[in-house]
Amino acid sequence: MKTFEYDIRSFPMTRKTSLADMQACLNEKGADGWEVVSISSSEFANVGHTVFLKRETTIVGAAA
């Protein structure tokens, strides 16, 4: 049976480089096996984005 772990990241959009920072962080998480499953954006007052990620976990001692 597959199992997953989850992570939530918030990215305030307060600077010109905010999208580049978000991309760099998500690329780093992707290299560690994380996958974006959802993004919630607040366009009201350009607040930012919340990103939900998951990755499969390895159960020690489990058969493949």
CATH number at 26 reads 3.30.70.2000
**Residue 64: inside a domain, yes or no?**
no
Round to whole Å and give the CA distance between 57 and 42: 31
Residue 61 CB coordination number (10 Å)? 5
Task: Give the pLDDT confidence score for residue 12 in this predicted structure.
Answer: 84
Provide the residue range defining the domain that includes 22: 3-57
Residue whose pair of structure tokens reads 């007052």 in the numeric block? 45
Q: Is residue 62 part of a domain?
A: no
In 3-state terms, what secondary structure has residue 4?
Answer: strand
Residue 13 is assigned to a structural domain of this protein = yes
What is the residue-level pLDDT of the chain in tens, covering all 64 positions? 899 999 999 888 777 667 888 999 999 999 999 999 999 987 665 678 899 999 999 876 555 4
Inter-residue contact 3 to 59 (CB < 8 Å): yes
pLDDT at 3: 95
